[in-house]
Structure 1
Amino acid sequence: MKTAAAYIRVSTDGQLEYSPDSQLKVIRDYAQRNGFSLPEQYIFREEEGISGKKAEKRPAFMQMIGIAKQKPKPFDCIILWKFSRFARNRRDSIVYKSMLRKQLGIDVVSVTEQLGDDKLSMLMEAIIEAMDEYYSINLAEEVKRGMQEKVSRGEPVTPPAFGYMIREKAYLPNPETAPVVQSIFRRFNGGASFREIAQELNALGIRTAKGNLWESRAIRYILYNPVYAGKIQWHTADTVGRRSDLSALLTDGRHEALISPDLWTQVQNRLNQSQAKQSKHAKTAQPTILSGLVRCSNCGARLVKSSRSSFQCQAYAHGTCNVSHCISVQKLESMVLAVCCADLNSCSISLELSDCSRNRKFLQVQLEREQQRLDRLRCAYESGVETLEEYQEEKQRLKSQIALLQEKCCLFLSIHSEEAYTLPTLLLNPDILPLGKNRLLGTFIKYIVFDSQNQHLEIHYQV
């Protein structure tokens, strides 16, 4: 008896007539009629509401594909209620069906859309895929149009922000949290930083809407949110990371503003000034040899480079640690290198020239290969094969990989002869870039604890 797998997905809670249990029932009936066994471990079910637009965002689907690649093949076919359950875009449908059928010998079968192997069936399946994608795109446009209409009328389209509650499709000030929002705006306008405000709220026992401790980014989000000025804002981009002013709708809301127009304007001006300073620093920021290695002695969080070319406890910067560990990058690097050189002066690393040449040559081959991939990616985008979003994402990944390989090459280029190098010699070598030294330190250091009050270092070496 052949073995089958079942894939089940519902897009919305409203599809009651085709619930997961209903889909599974018709799939089991089909498997029984056609002589397939359907083991429980091969029933893959998505949580309700998961979209079929992108395969990588469907955990059960990706698990099914991963199991299907095993040798020998675990099942002979995948049974669906409808082909639309498999994918809502033609690209994913074609890629994964082709892989399953041609490479793995696993068929994809629809209970309600049964097709054969002839040319007409292939055409019909392509038409079904196109119709499913059209339905998905059209539905998204209809939902977007409905949201835009609501926003234009000043009606809420998102859950209430901190400081509000929702009653009869309208935002109302929350008597418990609205005063907190007003206090945040007044404190920031009076000169307090994000971190200071977060620390004050945490000390008072006030928590966010989700019951978490306040962090700097949560304070920043509130200060930028125009809902507190009586506005309704809706971002049309798919994710927060790609939001921009051009993708946002902003209209007057029907709810009561918590912040006066004057206070809102003053706070936005201060935020813009702060953002300009941060942007200027970001362009001149340089890597450090201690990235990811140093921890705060008070809370254990990592020390990160701050805007003043110094290290600071990450949790302190976010407002969840109450002890500052601010120290200049140059001073901390000097302290760490001095301790390492004293502790490891007798240790040596034997590097043969042949090994260095071989490693360098291998890295250069990898580097050339990644640069060729970047060129091919650019050609694919210009030819219309890749979307702008896919091109930018993959381009960033390849550029990061190329930068990493270039740093590794610099480490080997700085070693020229067949001799034993002590660790201090390598750490103090000016030809080795910061990232190379950082990776060298990471080979023998687990982590470093810095005590700012006593100006003391505690280095934990790899055993």
Structure 2
Amino acid sequence: MPEYNPPPVDLPPGSLVFAYLRDSGGPTQEGSTAQQEREIVAYCRVHGLALTHIFSDVARSGGKVDGRAQFMAMIDATKDPATRPQGLIIWNFARFSRDVDDSDYYKSMLRKRGVVIHSLTDMIPDGPYARLVEKVIDIANEEKRRQNSRDVKRGLAALVREGFSPGIPPRGYKAVQVSRGETRDGKARMASRWEPDPELFPLVQLAWRMRAEGASYKQIQEATGGKLYRSINCWVDFFRNRSYLGIARCGELEFHNHHPPAITPETWEAVKRVERKPRTGINSPRSKAYPSLLAGLSICSHCGAAMVHHKGHNWPYYICGTKDRKGNLCPNARRIGARKVETLVIETVLNRILTPAFVKDLLEETRLQLQDTIIIEREIETRREALKITQRGIMRLLDLLESGQLDTQDVKDRLKQREGEKARLLYEINQLEARLQSSQIEITPEALALALSVWRGELEDLHTAGDVAALRRTLTRFITKIELDYTHVRICYTYPIDGLITPKTSQNFGGT
């Protein structure tokens, strides 16, 4: 048996001891814990120590205690004085921990419980300087861990920079072993590259094209026949993976043109635009699967959050989404009975909003407000001039971006700002033009009566049939928003009067 440090005087023959073993994993440490166990068992036999339990963490880093279940079990096993050992035997202090703070904390805990910590291979002198030497060893162990980490990261980055891929390839690629030279003893040094999988790569490209065109995950799942993923939830991470652009990552570093790309940057941006579109309101998956009449139409009158619907046991209700998720962030919101408020909304639409007298009064009020169109025309002209200036600015920024005369990110940020200004101006121009055209609305009494009769009949039939989803879709033609509170309901309404106005234009008008 090799020469190891003899047990301290605090561990005489017959002492009860635990053993803790650990290795960090990897091909060079396959037999590490087994070798530690053999040596510690033999050591205890030679020195007459009663080894009662062996705790072993295989392929676990010593830089933290998270994930080291056996280490924590060993610590917990020393709590009970009835089963507490007199000592803990370890191969060396690096097996115990490679973090100085963790080492100090757990060593102090064990020592306060009267447990002697003994390393077989670390030379710790007797006397007052023993703890100082131990501290130096712990610092050296932590520094060794950092050095190893830096060396591994540097080696991995070098591999990736050369076009090799040490990790698992994304779906649609396969790892192909290739030679990258020879070792000093003449053996082939092998590494892997990512290459398109002939069977799955076309499906990957199909999935990206479909998503860029706005297809849902379910549609993509059906089109790919479940060959890429069995679960529909996997597509979320799939469309976030920049590896499909031909980019490899190693830590914080990115290496472009690392492997054959599956998509172009334009496809990536198109998918990101689809992913950024809100999936709330009446068209959200939840609203389609579990329809409720006012979901997607109603908001909280206190904080503006969307109202959510709960079935309850025998009393369905609506509640502020913020209140439902975060409690006291909307303290004034209360539960609102669904049956009562839904009936109130339908009766208001049928008995007030869709009545000839109400619509006539609204039309007359609208004409009076829009009689003076000069101001509106001036505002339209002002915004059109501003739009021309903004468009010229966008063209100049695009020229700079293509020529590379300025920093690319600065130009992109400014271009994004200009695009936002353009969108805002176009929206304002459309709104002003709608106001201008609304001043010329003319509807004959006969056409108005016919339209209202058709709309009311459609709503009444759907309400009687109990088709909640269809009734909600129809209501969205007349209701833009409903503000709900426990004591009042505020309905913002509109009218789809296409084909009934003179001159013939397609406009909506409404109010609250």
- The two structures share one fold, judged by TM-score above 0.5: yes
Partner residue of 2:289 out of 313, 324, 340:
324
Q: Which residue of 2 aligns with 1:177?
A: 200
Q: Any idea what SS the aligned residue of 2:239 has?
A: helix
Give the superposition deviation at 1:96. Answer: 0.3
Quote the Cα distance in structure 2 between the aligned partners of 1:105 and 1:73.
12
State how 1:375-454 maps to structure 2 within 5 Å.
none
Q: Which residue of 2 aligns with 1:222?
A: 238
Q: 1:74 to 1:198 in 2, by over 3 A?
A: farther
Check conservation: 2:208, 2:271, Cα contact below 8 A: no
What one-letter code is carried by the residue in structure 1 that aligns with 2:260? E
Give the superposition deviation at 1:337. Answer: 7.2
Q: Which residue of 2 aligns with 1:293?
A: none
Q: Which residue of 2 aligns with 1:187?
A: 210
Q: 1:206 to 1:139 in 2, by over 3 A?
A: same
Q: Which residue of 2 aligns with 1:251?
A: 256
Quote the Cα distance in structure 1 between the aligned partners of 2:30 and 2:204.
45
Check conservation: 2:209, 2:267, Cα contact below 8 A: no
Give the superposition deviation at 1:164. Answer: 0.8
Q: Any idea what SS the aligned residue of 2:129 has?
A: helix
Give the superposition deviation at 1:338. Answer: 5.4
**CA displacement, residues 250-295 of structure 1 (integer Å, 9 cap, x when unaligned):** 3221x33333x3xx423324414633x55xxxxxxxxxxxxxxxxx
Q: 1:116 to 1:310 in 2, by over 3 A?
A: farther
Q: Which residue of 1 aligns with 2:74?
A: 64
Give the superposition deviation at 1:54. Answer: 0.6
Question: What percent identity do the matched residue pairs reach?
Answer: 24
Quote the Cα distance in structure 2 between the aligned partners of 1:190 and 1:428.
39
Give the superposition deviation at 1:34. Answer: 3.0
Partner residue of 1:33 out of 32, 43, 46:
46
Quote the Cα distance in structure 2 between the aligned partners of 1:68 and 1:158.
40
Q: Any idea what SS the aligned residue of 2:312 has?
A: helix
**Higher alpha-carbon deviation: 89-98 or 52-61:** 52-61
Q: 1:122 to 1:80 in 2, by over 3 A?
A: same
Q: Which residue of 2 aligns with 1:385?
A: none
Quote the Cα distance in structure 1 between the aligned partners of 2:82 and 2:253.
51
1:213 aligns with 2:234: no
Quote the Cα distance in structure 2 between the aligned partners of 1:173 and 1:17.
33
Partner residue of 1:55 out of 59, 65, 76:
65
Check conservation: 1:151, 1:251, Cα contact below 8 A: no
Check conservation: 2:171, 2:228, Cα contact below 8 A: no
Check conservation: 1:26, 1:111, Cα contact below 8 A: no
Quote the Cα distance in structure 2 between the aligned partners of 1:173 and 1:207.
14
Q: 1:454 to 1:91 in 2, by over 3 A?
A: same
Partner residue of 1:10 out of 13, 23, 44:
23
Q: Which residue of 1 aligns with 2:57?
A: 46
**CA displacement, residues 347-380 of structure 1 (integer Å, 9 cap, x when unaligned):** xxxxxxxxxxxxxxxxxxxxxxxxxxxxxxxxxx
Give the superposition deviation at 1:46. Answer: 1.2
Q: 1:161 to 1:152 in 2, by over 3 A?
A: same
The TM-score with structure 2 as length reference comes to 0.51
What one-letter code is carried by the residue in structure 2 that aligns with 1:250? F
Give the superposition deviation at 1:232. Answer: 2.0
Q: Which residue of 1 aligns with 2:99?
A: 89
Q: 1:454 to 1:118 in 2, by over 3 A?
A: farther
Q: Which residue of 2 aligns with 1:449?
A: none
Check conservation: 1:7, 1:45, Cα contact below 8 A: yes
Q: Which residue of 2 aligns with 1:142?
A: 151
1:232 aligns with 2:248: yes
1:307 aligns with 2:292: no
Give the superposition deviation at 1:45. Answer: 1.0
**CA displacement, residues 401-451 of structure 1 (integer Å, 9 cap, x when unaligned):** xx99x959x89xx9xxxxxxxxxxx9679xxxxxxxxxxxxxxxxxxxxxx
Check conservation: 2:20, 2:55, Cα contact below 8 A: yes
Quote the Cα distance in structure 1 between the aligned partners of 2:216 and 2:148.
44
Q: Which residue of 2 aligns with 1:19?
A: 32
Quote the Cα distance in structure 2 between the aligned partners of 1:151 and 1:338.
61
**CA displacement, residues 298-327 of structure 1 (integer Å, 9 cap, x when unaligned):** xxxxxxxx63389855xxx9xxxxx82354
Unaligned runs of 5+ in 1: 237-246, 279-305, 318-322, 342-402, 415-425, 430-451, 456-463
The TM-score with structure 1 as length reference comes to 0.56
Check conservation: 2:247, 2:254, Cα contact below 8 A: no
What one-letter code is carried by the residue in structure 1 that aligns with 2:21? I
Q: Any idea what SS the aligned residue of 1:66 has?
A: helix
Q: Any idea what SS the aligned residue of 1:188 has?
A: helix
Kindly report the root-mean-square deviation, in angstroms, between the aligned alpha carbons of the 2 structures.
Answer: 3.5
Q: 1:213 to 1:333 in 2, by over 3 A?
A: closer
Check conservation: 2:247, 2:256, Cα contact below 8 A: yes
Greater RCO structure (CA 8 Å; 6+ sep): 1
Quote the Cα distance in structure 2 between the aligned partners of 1:17 and 1:267.
42
**Higher alpha-carbon deviation: 144-153 or 266-275:** 266-275
Q: Any idea what SS the aligned residue of 1:170 has?
A: strand
Quote the Cα distance in structure 1 between the aligned partners of 2:236 and 2:32.
42
What one-letter code is carried by the residue in structure 2 that aligns with 1:54? K
Q: Any idea what SS the aligned residue of 2:66 has?
A: helix
What one-letter code is carried by the residue in structure 2 that aligns with 1:2? S
Q: Any idea what SS the aligned residue of 2:315 has?
A: helix
Check conservation: 2:200, 2:227, Cα contact below 8 A: no
Q: Which residue of 2 aligns with 1:268?
A: 269
1:126 aligns with 2:135: yes
Quote the Cα distance in structure 2 between the aligned partners of 1:114 and 1:58.
26
**CA displacement, residues 28-61 of structure 1 (integer Å, 9 cap, x when unaligned):** 122223332112xx211112x2111111221111
Q: 1:153 to 1:453 in 2, by over 3 A?
A: farther
Quote the Cα distance in structure 2 between the aligned partners of 1:453 and 1:79.
73
Q: Any idea what SS the aligned residue of 1:249 has?
A: strand
What one-letter code is carried by the residue in structure 1 that aligns with 2:214? G
User: Which structure is larger by alpha-carbon Rg, 1 or 2?
Assistant: 2
Give the superposition deviation at 1:223. Answer: 2.7
Quote the Cα distance in structure 1 between the aligned partners of 2:105 and 2:152.
28
Check conservation: 2:208, 2:267, Cα contact below 8 A: no
Check conservation: 2:217, 2:235, Cα contact below 8 A: yes
Check conservation: 2:217, 2:232, Cα contact below 8 A: no
Q: Any idea what SS the aligned residue of 2:261 has?
A: coil
Check conservation: 1:156, 1:171, Cα contact below 8 A: yes
Check conservation: 2:91, 2:120, Cα contact below 8 A: yes
Number of residue pairs the alignment of both structures matches:
295
Check conservation: 1:6, 1:38, Cα contact below 8 A: yes
Q: 1:307 to 1:76 in 2, by over 3 A?
A: farther
